[in-house]
Amino acid sequence: MRIIVNGERREVEGLALAEVLDELGYGGTVVATAVNERFVPQDGRQDLALSDGDRVEVLAPMQGG
């Protein structure tokens, strides 16, 4: 399936957002996610099926001092 992740076109195998995050190396990492400009909480990622052309944003928290 072809989706856009953080502005880059990607070809992925996973269907659920959680599977795609694992595939992209974000598994176990604390991140915020949005699909097509809608926030997706962590507990909703396993049930959210992606479709061809979806726009996924993955944001890591910033640390500073």
Does 64 map to a domain? no
* Total number of domains constituting the chain: 1
Task: Provide the residue range defining the domain that includes 25.
Answer: 2-59
Q: What local confidence, expressed as pLDDT, does residue 23 receive?
A: 97
Question: Which contiguous run of DSSP H or E holds residue 40?
Answer: strand 38-40
* Lateral strand order in the sheet of 2-5: 8-11, 2-5, 55-59, 32-35, 38-40
Does 7 map to a domain? yes
Does 34 map to a domain? yes
Does 65 map to a domain? no
CATH number at residue 32: 3.10.20.30
**With 80 as the cut, is the pLDDT of residue 5 above it?**
yes
pLDDT digits (tens, 9 = 90+) for 9-65: 999 999 999 999 999 999 888 999 999 999 999 999 999 999 999 999 999 887 776
Contact assessment for residue 15 and residue 65, using Cβ atoms and an 8 Å cutoff: no
Q: What local confidence, expressed as pLDDT, does residue 52 receive?
A: 98
Which ranges of the chain would DSSP assign to H, the alpha helix? Answer: 17-23
Question: How many whole angstroms separate alpha carbon 51 and alpha carbon 65?
Answer: 39
